[in-house]
Amino acid sequence: MEVFRPSTLDEALRLRAEHPQARPIQGGTDVMVELTFGDARPEALLDLSELAELRGFAEEDGLLRLGAGLTYTEAMQTPLASRLPALAEASRTVGSPQIRNRGTIGGNLGTASPAGDALPPLLAERAEVELASARGTRTMPLAEFLLGVKRTALAPGELVTAVRVRPCEGPQTFAKVGQRNAMVIAICSLAVVVDAEAGEVRAAFGSSAVTARCVVVPLAEAAELPERVVEAASPIDDVRATAAYRRHALRVLAARTLERCLRT
Amino acid sequence: MSATTERPRLAVGRIGERLPREDAVPKVTGEFSYASDLSTPGMLWGDTLRSPHAHARVVSIDVTAALGLPGIHGALTHEDVPGKKLYGLEFADQPVLAIDRVRYVGEPVALVVAEHPEQARRALEAIVVEYEPLEPVVDMERALEQEPLHPDRPTMGHGYRDDRRPNVVRHLVIRHGDPDIAGDVVVTGTYELGIQDQAFLGPESGLAIPDGEGGVDIHVATQWLHVDRDQVAPCLDLRPEQVRLHLSGVGGSFGGREDLSMQIHSALLALHTGRPVKMVYDRAESFTGHVHRHPARIRCEHRATRDGRLTSVRMQILLDGGAYASSSTAVASNAASFGLGPYRVDNALIETTAVYTNNPPCGAMRGFGAVQTCFAAEAQMDQLAAELGLDPVELRLLNALEPGDSLPTGQVIEGSLPTREVIRRAAALPVPDQETLPRDPLRLPGGTGNTTTGEGIRRGVGFALGFKNICYSEGFDDFCAARVVLHADGSAVVHSAAAEVGQGVVGVMLQVARTELGTDEVTLAPHTTATVGSAGSTSASRMTWMAAGAVRDACRAALEERERRGGGEVDVERVHRHPRTTPLDPETGQITGERAHVALAVAAMRVVVEVDVELGLTRVVWVGTAQDVGKAVNPLALEGQIEGGTAQGLGLALMEEIVTRNGAIQNASFTDYLIPTALDMPPVEIELVEVPEPDAPYGVKGVGEPPTVVSTAAIVSAMRAATGRPLTRAPVRPDDICL
Ligand SMILES: Cc1cc2nc3c(=O)[nH]c(=O)nc-3n(C[C@H](O)[C@H](O)[C@H](O)COP(=O)(O)OP(=O)(O)OC[C@H]3O[C@@H](n4cnc5c(N)ncnc54)[C@H](O)[C@@H]3O)c2cc1C
């Protein structure tokens, strides 16, 4: 198997255009599992881990630009954790310390699992995805980027380069249900953001529909949130949990996280 | 050959000392060499084609296309098995490779051998098997009326009850006193347990090397080298001495390595190619590559007097053995023998049925039948205590089984069994105060998931008592050999085939030899069938007892021999036997001699949980336990066994279950078969109760199983206290608590 190791974003985008069959790999915590299990046998890998352009985060005029290579460990640290507390809480639930050191939000978007833990907090913050190709750069709302189970709007030749968020000032939090106390895929999860400026509460849930999904209610009708979340969900029975439990747990989580936010 | 040759000298002390394991650091740093690390120049890779059907007729197998692929050195089917086509731990009912029928998803059908594992994998895809699917038998209750999966009834005629119902592996009825006798109160319940997996971290692996003279050396991770050899040799049509088994680094076993996995297969491929052949299962294959804990359905009726004395107990125990017998007959016997728990009950009727189905085969797993019945019996005791308004600990003390009492099989307990003392010591352990809020989410149910800041939390305290036997039972001629070589310079080498599977028998044997020989200059030779007799199995909590006995006897004999000769080098081998047992009467389930079981060990456990009753999530806060250990040979290693055994029981209480659909495993990965992490395990406070076992060397008892037997029952007892729900099924699902 061939491995391309570009050292600049331009080089990466050129390689991406020339070798459409090359699979991007950032932290590799999803890709390597697919390779080991034989679920994917790409002809080549495009290693993005050396690209300085994708690392870390930057802030300009209140707009945060999270590099696609931002790790969960980094998202859990200040100052980022105080700007995006729900993302920090979600990051803390991901895998183990080793996985959090390698795994990235760009990779979480790339995989687009309904259980991806970075997705609900970013959706609830109305994040935009920055996509680049040799042709140029475009952005789109994360909600539009996520098309289905492990399906995204990424076009041929494109890479996710960043996620852009303008953190709202109100309280926010994240909670995730799993059948053990750590290192577990979400049975369901929920991020809540109280956006006083916009006069609304946004809640985004994971593992209860084909994609992570966001629900918005006016602040004045915040009490409706648990019901609205359950209505928006279309969970299934699987080996991890029943659909009935997922609905029940979403309702409980919505009530609790909302209460937590409004209490503070 | 990296894994098995040299063993560094272990610097350990004498019996009774707290000693760290020599392999602890290499295991944590990743330097320990496991069977999956085995490697030798020129080796080929074997792989296994497995049945996708739970039940099907095999119409034809065509390996032609596979043989034409690059790097392929052979593809074998049942026709290439030179000797016996069937094998089994106790009953030869399992084909080495499927013949005309497959009985479970994952059953081996054909083998390939290639230069590279990837070539082997592709060759498997090129094998064409025509199956004619048959209706799978997947419900253990219905199995007793459906078409027999083994019409020749392989387990009948071995002194078991002659039960003509289809798919019976063993039916055992223990009738004791007058089970119809009335009580003032009656409690009934039906309990269920799912399939638990051993989930050992080191998958099945081994390396077979042809010796150039028709024989073969097999390096493998196993629990009993000699019983492997005795199953492998007849299938290869070789004499036992032509097949030598050598222990490689074992990454856990818990019963899952008692049955063969790739031993015969790798040897077949090695003899076929004349080259060393390695086989390693991946995680998914490992889930179908070994037997599991029997799922069970248990119906109970307990009768007692108003003041809490048990008058009569009825239990009906159904165990799903899956496609092949494995050790189901012995698991059934244990479930029945220890079904009541360590209580004195003068009247009982215990009926146990183990059945064949097309589910994954089940066999030995830590606790061996006693785990399932302890879960049921202890729930019944709690229910009885509630019914009578008695303290659950008092109720247990009142009915505690003690030496001089008899088991429902009629066996009078003559050895040590300090039931009351373990109850008292566990109950006396101070339960920690409830932690205040707010807390770090890691200290709340839901853990890192951040699901509660205190909402929905209920605390519960539970208690349970469990016991089981030590050593093999029912007339099995169980022995253990050890060989000691005393050199002229005073140093000694101990040879033993005892399998070190992580439990620490290596340290025990060195402690015994150092103590007996009075020298520190003792080393262990590699574990193999080539230089010493059988050690028996590392199972049934027997290895410490048996190895200690054998090494002690050999050391003493060696010293005598040297004394007699007046010095020089001596080399002696001795065989240690525990007191003989006899089978149970097939009709009454009563003993036919003095005893059917060798000795017993009991453990009591107190547990504190916090349950989020709205989300159904649980945090086990604290575990306190007192265990009857006979004599603590190495208290540190013993505490490790108790903590590990408790973790495994916690797994069964809260999360560990193999889920099947029409016989096919749905969660053959550590993503979806969850085992507890460090964040799920509470601190365990341990009281060791040392009442020497009179028949055992140094008074030791096995310690590996009692914590697993008792912990599932104790944890779910605490969860019932917290939730007020009956929780009759393990593992407890969040739905059972909050929906
Ligand atoms: C043990 C373990 C535990 C885990 N636990 C969790 C968990 O609790 N929660 C959770 O959400 N996930 C979990 N994961 C999954 C994984 O860690 C996350 O999805 C992580 O975010 C992936 O990031 P990565 O950088 O490792 O991605 P990679 O594996 O490198 O890539 C993932 C996917 O994204 C694509 N990709 C990567 N970068 C880009 C890019 N810049 N542009 C376009 N496509 C790209 C890749 O081609 C691939 O399809 C776990 C994984 C493991 C192995």
Is the CB of A91 inside a 6 Å radius of any atom of ligand 1? no
Of A89, A187, A245, the CB nearest to B739: A245
Q: How far is CA B362 from CA A6, B54, B374, in A?
A: 51, 14, 18
Q: CA-to-CA distance for B355 and B110, rounded, in angstroms?
A: 27
pLDDT at B621 over 80: yes
Residues A99 and A7 in one domain: yes
Phi, psi of B275 (to 5 degrees): -125, 155
Q: DSSP string spanning A181-195?
A: SSS---SEEEEEEEE
pLDDT at B139 over 60: yes
Residues A226 and A146 in one domain: no
User: What is the 3-state secondary structure of B75-129?
Assistant: EECHHHCCCCCEECCCCCCEECCCCCEECCCCCEEEEEEECCHHHHHHHHHHCEE
Give the gap in angstroms from C-alpha B738 to the nearest C-alpha of chain A: 8
Residues A86 and A116 in one domain: yes
Cα Rg, chain A, nearest whole Å: 18
What pLDDT, on a 0 to 100 scale, did the predictor assign at position B11? Answer: 47
Mark yes or no for CB contact B672/A239 under 8 Å: yes
CB pairs under 8 A between A and B: 98
CATH 1.10.8.60, applies to B24-31+479-577: no
Cα Rg, chain B, nearest whole Å: 26
Residue in chain B lying closest to A117 (CA): B449
The residue from A141, A165, A189 where one domain ends is A165
pLDDT tens digits, one per residue of B330-345? 999 999 999 999 999 9
Residue B493 Cα to chain centre, angstroms = 30
Q: CA-to-CA distance for B277 and B114, rounded, in angstroms?
A: 9
What pLDDT, on a 0 to 100 scale, did the predictor assign at position B60? Answer: 98
Is the CB of A110 inside a 6 Å radius of any atom of ligand 1? yes
pLDDT tens digits, one per residue of A70-126? 999 999 999 999 999 999 999 999 999 999 999 999 999 999 999 999 999 999 999
Of A179, A181, A260, the CB nearest to B619: A181
Q: DSSP string spanning B321-341?
A: -TTS-TTHHHHHHHHHHTTT-
Residues A180 and A93 in one domain: no
Which tokens go with B100? 């005309």
The CATH number linked to A199 is 3.30.390.50
| Tokens 């969850």, residue located | B674
What pLDDT, on a 0 to 100 scale, did the predictor assign at position B360? Answer: 98
Alpha-carbon torsion, ordered B317, B320, B321, B323, to 10 deg: 150
Confidence of residue B297 (pLDDT cuts 50, 70, 90): very high
Q: CA-to-CA distance for B96 and B264, rounded, in angstroms?
A: 7
pLDDT tens digits, one per residue of B671-696? 999 999 999 999 999 999 999 999 99
Adjacency order of strands within the sheet including B617-628: B457-470, B599-612, B617-628, B684-689
Which among B480, B497, B490, B512 has a CA at the least distance from the CA of B10? B512
- The neighbour count for residue A66, using CB atoms within 10 Å, is 27
Angle at the Cα of B445 from the Cα atoms of A30 and B607, rounded to 5 degrees: 120
Confidence of residue B581 (pLDDT cuts 50, 70, 90): very high
Q: CA-to-CA distance for A247 and A231, rounded, in angstroms?
A: 9
SS3 content of chain B, % helix, strand, coil (to 5): 25, 25, 45
Chain B residues with CB under 8 Å of A244 CB are: 735, 739
Phi, psi of A263 (to 5 degrees): -65, -35
The residue from A165, A200, A225 where one domain ends is A165
Which tokens go with A225? 């949130």
The residue from A165, A191, A212 where one domain ends is A165
147-186 in chain A: CB under 8 A from chain B: 173-185
Residue B584 pairs in a beta bridge with B591
Residues A187 and A222 in one domain: yes
Of A93, A241, A260, the CB nearest to B453: A260
Q: CA-to-CA distance for B668 and B661, rounded, in angstroms?
A: 12
Residues A9 and A132 in one domain: yes
The CATH number linked to A19 is 3.30.465.10
CA of A103 to the centre of ligand 1 (A): 6
Chain B residues with CB under 8 Å of A91 CB are: none
Mark yes or no for CB contact A180/B655 under 8 Å: yes
Residues A125 and A243 in one domain: no
Q: CA-to-CA distance for A232 and A221, rounded, in angstroms?
A: 16
Of B121, B455, B659, the CB nearest to A256: B455
What pLDDT, on a 0 to 100 scale, did the predictor assign at position B614? Answer: 98
What is the total count of domains within chain A?
A: 2
Which tokens go with A98? 């080793």
284-323 in chain B: CB under 8 A from chain A: 284
Q: Where along chain B do its domains lie?
A: 24-31+479-577, 36-134+203-250+257-289
* DSSP SS3 for A154: coil
Q: Which domain holds residue A257?
A: 172-262
Residue B612 pairs in a beta bridge with B457, B617
CA of A96 to the centre of ligand 1 (A): 13
What pLDDT, on a 0 to 100 scale, did the predictor assign at position B12? Answer: 55
Which among B261, B232, B264, B278 has a CA at the least distance from the CA of B73? B278
- Residue by residue, pLDDT tens for chain A (264 residues) are 899 999 999 999 999 999 999 999 999 999 999 998 888 999 999 999 999 999 999 999 999 999 999 999 999 999 999 999 999 999 999 999 999 999 999 999 999 999 999 999 999 999 999 999 999 999 999 999 999 999 999 999 999 999 999 999 899 999 999 999 999 999 999 999 999 999 999 999 999 999 999 999 999 999 999 999 999 999 999 999 999 999 999 999 999 999 999 986
Residues B259-264 have a mean pLDDT of 98
Residues A142 and A205 in one domain: no
CATH of domain B36-134+203-250+257-289: 3.90.1170.50
Residues A58 and A182 in one domain: no
Protein residue closest via CA to atom 27 of ligand 1: A107
Residues A120 and A232 in one domain: no
Q: CA-to-CA distance for B199 and A17, rounded, in angstroms?
A: 44
Is the CB of A178 inside a 6 Å radius of any atom of ligand 1? no
Which among A205, A239, A179 has a CA at the least distance from the CA of B447? A179
Protein residue closest via CA to atom 35 of ligand 1: A110
* DSSP SS3 for A101: helix
Is the CB of A29 inside a 6 Å radius of any atom of ligand 1? yes
Give the gap in angstroms from C-alpha A163 to the nearest C-alpha of chain B: 24
Q: CA-to-CA distance for B597 and B580, rounded, in angstroms?
A: 9
Phi-psi region of B315 (alpha: psi -120 to 50; beta: other; left: phi over 0): beta
The single-letter DSSP state of residue A55 is S
